[in-house]
Amino acid sequence: MKILEVEYLKGIKDEYIEVLYPIMEKCNNEERLLVCLYFMSELDDDLTTLNNIEDNLRKIFPPIISTNYLPKDYASFQASVIRGQFDRETENVKKGKLRQENKLWIRVGRGRWRNTDLGNERAIKILQQNNVKIVRVQNKVFNSWELLSEDILLKTVDKSVFLYNGTGVPMNIRSFFDNSLGRGEQKLIKLVHKDKEYLANFQLDNLEDPRSRIIWKADFRDLIKNTLPEYYDLFSTQQDIMGINLPKIRFEKYKKDIYIVDFIIPDNIYKDLDSEETEDNTGTKEYNEENNTEGKVKYYYGKKYERNPENRRKAIEYHGTKCKICNFDFEKFYGKRGRGYIEIHHIKPLSSLESETKIDPKTDLIPVCANCHRMIHREKDNVLSIEEMRCLIEKNKSK
């Protein structure tokens, strides 16, 4: 069994090709597309375009056994190998030859496609049948920084964040911002919070072994102070802050030198969990932080289940606080009262679990707004998937 270590599923990296190419030689085009989209399954919807799918699929596309065709040999590779698969499945559903729940792909926007949950299960099975096991690599932690993925970085706030208008960036994660600068060089970057841009400098000092820092302007300093006033007061009066859950600044790559910034406040996450009602507002909470498990059934439908607040925190750290279905942002709509609030949906309903199960906050949990969450669960015997919800919204936009 070959082990393929994967930090995130945001495209086919060059180091995956050596393992995947020989497998794809044995597969048909449907199976190749399923595997390709599995490795793109953690991309945002706007990046699942046909062109991006084609770019990734070409990396692992061997000659067709029957025709010896390569991508360059097709009159239109995208139309034949990619759109053709989607169109055939869509037509089969229309003709009643295929049930909706058996679809392998789903359209999440104009010209944007994903595997369904069933499609991803098929892709994993294809890999397993070819003796390849996917192993998810844990987050990388460097001092007060935590690299969650290629595109997401967390910074736990410290004294420098509040009092010195910036923070040091460890050499190990310098490439997240820029690894091309030399001693004494700097570049302008943009930090975007709730659609407002803040300018900052990413710079290296003049030492022989240069240190890197982000230095932001007064407006971003004021944003931090106004967002986290009680923590500003703490750091202003105390040298060391121990024994509390400190907030984190979440950086997400958007475009070159542009980063979406949000604030993760653990105390608020735990308070929201305490106040959040479950299906029938009955039962008691029980946490099992040591084992990081949840979903022990206390009753069947309509009862309260065990929920681990650490899983919730990790899901928000990774996915952010914007609804992954409709993009609703509570803070943008409600201001300070909505800051940091979002509900968390278990992609596999807890009521369907027979026993405790291991939860991966990156893949099993997703942030959703209250409206979308209610619609997902409105019919207890017909809980909608994330893909079905996105399709429902897309369909009704045009009405």
Question: For the segment 317-341, what is each residue's pLDDT rounded down to a tens digit?
Answer: 999 999 999 999 999 999 989 999 9
pLDDT of residue 270: 80
All structural domains of the chain, each given as residue ranges with its CATH number in brackets, are 2-136 (no CATH), 140-264 (2.40.330.10), 266-397 (no CATH)
φ/ψ of 230, rounded to 5, equals: -70, -30
Which band of pLDDT confidence, cut at 50, 70 and 90, is reported for residue 300?
very low
- pLDDT, position 178: 87
CA atoms within 13 A of residue 266's CA, in its CB half-sphere: 15
Residue 37 pLDDT more than 90?
A: yes
Band of residue 240 on the pLDDT scale cut at 50, 70, 90: low
Buried b / exposed e over 250-282, threshold 16 CB at 10 Å, is bbbbeeeeebbbbbbbbebbeebbeeeeeeeee
pLDDT at 298: 34
pLDDT at 64: 67
Nearest Cα to Cα of residue 294 among 226, 244, 358: 358
List the structure tokens of 375: 């619609």
Q: How far is it, in rounded angstroms, from Cα 306 to Cα 152?
A: 28
Is the CB of residue 1 less than 8 Å from the CB of residue 48? no
> What was the pLDDT predicted at 320?
94
Q: Give the angle 235-241-243 at the CA atoms, nearest 5°.
A: 145
Sort strands 132-136 and 2-6 into parallel, antiparallel or unpaired.
Answer: parallel
Residue 359 has pLDDT above 60, yes or no: yes
Predicted local distance difference test score (pLDDT) of residue 382: 83
Sign of CA dihedral 101, 105, 109, 111: negative
Nearest in space to 253 (alpha carbons), one of 166, 172, 176: 176
Report how far residue 43's alpha carbon sits from residue 47's, in angstroms, rounded to the nearest whole number. 6
Q: What is the pTM of this model?
A: 0.64
pLDDT score for 276: 61
Amino acid at 305: Y
According to DSSP, the β-strands at 196-204 and 212-216 are antiparallel
Q: Which of 4, 47, 49, 46 lies closest to 23 in space, CA to CA?
A: 4
Q: Is pLDDT above 90 for 237?
A: no
218: helix, strand or coil: helix
94 by DSSP, 3-state: which? Answer: helix
Q: What pLDDT score was predicted for residue 207?
A: 83
User: Stretch 70-76: mean pLDDT, rounded?
Assistant: 79
Q: Which residue has the higher pLDDT, 299 or 46?
A: 46
Per-residue pLDDT tens for 88-139?
Answer: 999 999 999 999 889 999 998 889 999 998 999 999 999 999 999 998 776 6
For residues 241 and 50, the model is more confident at 50
Q: What confidence score (pLDDT) does residue 285 get?
A: 45
What is the per-residue pLDDT across 169-186, written as a single tens digit (0 to 9) for each? 988 889 899 888 888 999
Tell me the sheet residues that pair with 264: 248
Mean pLDDT of 147-166: 91
Region of 336 on the Ramachandran plot (φ > 0 left; ψ -120 to 50 alpha; else beta): alpha
